[in-house]
Amino acid sequence: MSERLQPGDTAPAFTLPDADGNEVSLADHKGRKVIVYFYPAALTPGCTKQACDFTDNLDLLAGAGYDVLGISPDKPEKLARFRDAESLRVTLLADPDKKVLDAYGAFGEKKNYGRTYQGVIRSTIVVDEDGKVERALYNVRATGHVAKIIKDLGI
C-alpha cells in the first residue's frame, strides 16, 4: 500500500491528460489552492454524485481561490463521456497506470463485503498555493463529502 500524505508534505507533482487529451499539471495551478480528489470510476453512481456535487459548488470554491481536479484510472475517452453525460465542469484527469493515485496514497487495499482487493481509495487532498498538503482525507464518502469540505475549509 502506498504511503498516505500528511499535512505539510509536498504534494507530488503530476502531469496527466484531461478528458480531451490535453496535459494538465499540478504546477499549472501554482499560486492557487487545489482540491485534488480521487475516485474509482467514471459513470458509476457514487462517483457521479461526487462529481456533480463538485460541479454544483465549483463557482463557490473558485471564488474562494480553489481549483478542483478529479483523478481516476479511467481513460480520457471515458472521462469525456462522463463529463458530457453529466454536464460536469470539474477538470477530470486520467491516470490509467495509477502512478499519481499511488503517489497520493489513493490506491491500495480495500475491503468490501468481506473481500479484500486492490483499488482506488476515495480520497481528497487539499494543496495550498505553495504546493504543500493542507489536508489529506482518505476513505471519504461520495455523498455529502463536498459539503463537508466546504464547511471544514470555512467557505
User: Active-site positions?
Assistant: 47
Spatial distance between the Cα atoms of 123 and 141, rounded to a whole number of angstroms:
9
Q: Helices marked H in the chain — which ranges?
A: 45-56, 58-63, 76-86, 99-103, 145-152
Spatial distance between the Cα atoms of 82 and 68, rounded to a whole number of angstroms:
16
Q: For residue 19, count CB atoms less than 10 angstroms from its CB and return exposed for 0-12, middle for 13-18, buried for 19 or more.
A: buried
Contact in structure between 95 and 101 (CB atoms under 8 Å): yes
